[in-house]
Homo-oligomer: A and B are copies of this chain.
Amino acid sequence: MITVLCGGVGGVKLVAGLAAVLPDPSLLSVVVNTADDCVVWGLHVSPDVDTVLYTLAQCASHERGWGIEGDTWSALEMLGRYGLPTWFRIGDRDLGTHVARTMWLREGRRLTDIVQALGRSLGVPSRVLPMCDERVETIVRVPSGRIPFQEYFVARRASDRVLGVEFVGMDRAHVTPEVADAVCRSALIVVAPSNPVVSIGPILAVPGMRQALAAARAVRLAVTPLVAGRAIKGPTAEMLRGIGVPAEPAAVAGMYGDFLDVFVLDVQDRADAAAVAAAGRSGRPVTVACVDTVMDDDGARCRLARDVIRIAAASGAGVPVPLA
């Protein structure tokens, strides 16, 4: 069993690759950030969860990276006519997902159960697990004040200088039994190349999560979200600097240093290998591997997925990974 921790558009590419190369995609569990969930038009939207669901259901929009391929925009147009904000663009099929989720949440169902139901209906063969069932909200501190993540990221196009990040409500969050089970039973845990601050950060901040990862028998491997000092997509470098962390692979490895066995560095950054290897906390060694981590197309996703499995199996860390 493999468990991946991931956010949305960036990390999901590796998830798609793993689902494609595993002999049985039901062996894959994906623990997904929900701290950038938001309420749009009174509906509960889980952008990262839905990106993972739609990608694994093979109905995600390739072109946009979010939402559903070939979706229509009738409801959005109507809601705009009613004077409601439409900067968070929700297609009609996508809206169906949010309507169903919101209804079920109001009925008192757990987000974890709801996401399982959505996944089954969409034909997703893997387990998609929200990081927790409680409502957590990422707030970004910028010079003009504190703003919700989606406002920073979508409405303001990540153009503000980031001064810090808070996860409101995290003190009440819990690792779900499903996430605990996946972490405990996996032979390999992969931290996807998602934003370490606002995608992986919240998952690791769920009380008990870091301890569960540190105690896991799995090989714990992270794939760098930075290539040549920049993120392929999104404001990863800016957000790292915003929380006072250098935008360098070794610094990212350090953020995972209490549980990490292996760090996959991009070949372009091989000069950073020694620094990354020293990033483990309390003298814990980190094995470093260098491969091409850029996932430009489906082939590259599968190639990186195979590399990750191969590297984990060869690392000698954790239990043997019988997956390649």
Contact = CB atoms under 8 A, between A and B. Distances in A.
Interface of A: 41-43, 71-72, 74-79, 81-84, 91-97, 99-100, 102-103, 106, 117-118, 121-122
A84 B100 contact: yes
A94 to B, nearest CB: 8
Contacts of A91: 74
A83 B104 CA distance: 12
Contacts of A84: 100, 103
Contacts of A92: 72, 74-75, 78, 92, 95
Given A72-B72, A83-B121, A78 B103 contact: no
A96 B121 contact: no
Give the 5 A-B CB pairs with smallest separation, nearest first.
Answer: A78-B96, A42-B103, A74-B92, A75-B96, A92-B92
A93 B106 contact: no
A97 B76 CA distance: 10
A77 B106 contact: no
A97 B79 CA distance: 7
A82 B117 contact: yes
A77 B99 CA distance: 12
A100 B42 CA distance: 8
Contact of A72 (B74, B83, B103, B121): B74
A320 B102 CA distance: 53
A96 B79 CA distance: 5
A181 to B, nearest CB: 25
Given A71-B74, A74-B74, 18 more contacts: A42-B102, A74-B92, A74-B96, A75-B95, A75-B99, A78-B92, A78-B93, A78-B95, A78-B97, A79-B96, A79-B99, A82-B118, A82-B121, A83-B121, A92-B92, A92-B95, A95-B95, A99-B99
Contacts of A118: 82
A24 B122 CA distance: 52
Contacts of A77: 93, 96
Given A42-B102, A42-B106, A103-B42, A96 B72 contact: no
Contacts of A81: 96, 121-122
A91 B92 CA distance: 10
A96 B122 contact: no
A81 to B, nearest CB: 5
Contacts of A117: 82-83
B72 A100 contact: no
A100 B74 contact: no
A15 to B, nearest CB: 22
Contacts of A100: 41, 78-79, 82, 84
A75 B41 CA distance: 15
A72 B106 CA distance: 27
Contacts of A102: 42
B93 A74 contact: yes
A79 B117 CA distance: 12
A37 B284 CA distance: 63
A76 to B, nearest CB: 7
22 contacts: A41-B100, A41-B103, A42-B106, A43-B99, A71-B74, A72-B72, A74-B91, A75-B99, A76-B96, A77-B93, A77-B96, A78-B94, A78-B95, A78-B100, A79-B96, A79-B99, A79-B100, A81-B96, A81-B122, A82-B97, A95-B95, A95-B99
